Structure 1
Amino acid sequence: MTGKRVTLNSASLVGSIRVDSRSSSYERRPVLVPARSGLVGDGVIVATKPIVPPTPAKKPMLVVPVPQPVRPQPSVAIEQPPVTYVPPAVVASEPVVSSTFLPAQPKKHNKTSLALVTMAVILFVAGISVVIVGFYQNNQVATQVKNVAQSVVGTTASRQPDETKPDAASQSSYTVGPTKPRMLIIDKLGVNARVHQLGVDSNNELQTPNNIYDTGWYDNSAKPGDAGGAILIDGHVHGPTQPGVFYKLKTLVAGDIIKLERGDDTVYTFKVVKSQTYPVDNVDMNAAIVSAVPGKLGLNLMTCTGSVNTQTQSYNERLIVFAVAE
């Protein structure tokens, strides 16, 4: 025995493969290495202590926690303290601003607002009515003016009116249409005369009644009961030998009363506001068929006045008395 150690590098282990097939639970046990002895010299053998290799540290094992089953816990009623509602304090001086958006509430109109709206509607309708009526009246007056603007009022030498005075029976039996003027009454002058419907003649002259005691209503002027314009009535101031129905017309003054009876027996009252005299060749026919007071029905009475032209047997002036409905 030579006493040599066998190691992994020994020639006897050349070509061998060492496989470590230890399990994970392998625990290395300490190996006692016998004491070695060796020759120091001169045949002296020195013994050594056995060598104990160090114990390797154990590898920590992987511990996988196992979930524990959840057991139902008994329900425990928790007593809630009583809740007392405390209304929020209202501060009068500072308005509370809320961030909550509420839907718009319809406004409530009080009686005053409703009355104002109703009044506004009534005024609007009334205004429209006034405009329409005014437009109608203006057109009506414009037509009347156009028809008589060139007329010459008066009685020519070739027209000799009748001077026979109508009796009471002929006056009471006299009839016209229900909306046309029938009788003219002027108590101050003692006038109670029939009213005949007249126009203009072939010479574009305003016609006059055939009797000096009658009057003539120009049929293109207004009628009794109309909303505006003026009723134009003419009459003779004198006949060939006798005074006519309007002989004293120039004595009427502002405030005197004139009455006009319609065919349906309705009586309309007018009050004189003024009178005007025009030259025969410059009669204002526009004024003759327009009310002296805008917005009121007018009654204009026309007759001859001034001096008589011996050649034409006509007067050189015309008188118009203006009255308005009361």
Structure 2
Amino acid sequence: MPIRVQILLLPETMLSTLTGPLDLLSTAGTLWPLLMGTEPQTLFDVELISSTREPLCFAGGLTIHPQKTLDQAGPADVVYVPSIFITPDGELPASVSLASNWLSKQHSDGAMLCSACTGAFVLAETGLLKGLPATTHWAFGELFQQRFANVLFKNNAVLVVNSDARLTTAGANASWQDLILHLIKSTANERVAEETRRLFLIDNHDSNQGAYSHCNLQLTTADKEVAKAQSWLQANLAASLPVEQVVQQSALPERTFKRRFKQHTGMTVIAYMQMLRIDAAKTRLVTDNDSVEQIASDVGYQDPSYFRRIFARETALSPSQYRRKWK
């Protein structure tokens, strides 16, 4: 019996994370055998589920017709949530609340839930990710942490699998490929996943999201002392003892300042400084020809070996690999 997969279709769905997975799941087990002259086998029964049966119109005039409503959808083995468009202010579409209730029911009925990119916001609204690791698009990491503080957020992760909880989240847009191949491998078999990879020319990610991300340098408008510290840190990457200096400049008790800084930025002062330094190093590695040692020193790391370890931890690439990848 084919594996029952339901794809949640919202008016705000980003189509690249819908149509690609639809192609892979619809052809897994059939197209490769047809090309190779062997017996095809339909492995996945895929349905598009939405709150209405009315056609949904997307950018460029593309219209998609859902096959069933949320009320009509029966039980599923897998429910997949594509990415959705989220405005910079973080306001979630009204459709998310209704969808999250439906997702909770499908999960309680035994379905595996998975999301791509900002689809993690829909999944997290169910409350099912509480206390579990998860990821989403790197640019929405701060917003995700502020909205779902009880989720163990993994900003650099491409794919986070919670097998026992039947919950999986994928990172920025193209990581849907990693998610769908994992889905095929875990629910069908590894051979079909590899055939699908070859057929659609999909490579493994040789790095994590940290190799693609760029830090958000927007200053908070809600706390002038935190904004002042953010500005100073950005202008003084190579400063020694940066935490002590911004605490002193704030004239606040250390614990108070650190609490307010994390509240408004989503990270500790030292983590924020490290983000700025690594981001500056990424730019330098691509835009000039200075040695790794010189760049490390300029962004605040006097020990090149330590810099290389931190850089590799954040990007899954060495500085030299990063330079070759992007320069």
Fold similarity call, TM over 0.5: no
Higher CA-based Rg:
1
| TM-score class, shorter | under 0.3
TM-score, normalised to structure 1's length?
0.20
Higher helix share: 2
Higher strand share: 1
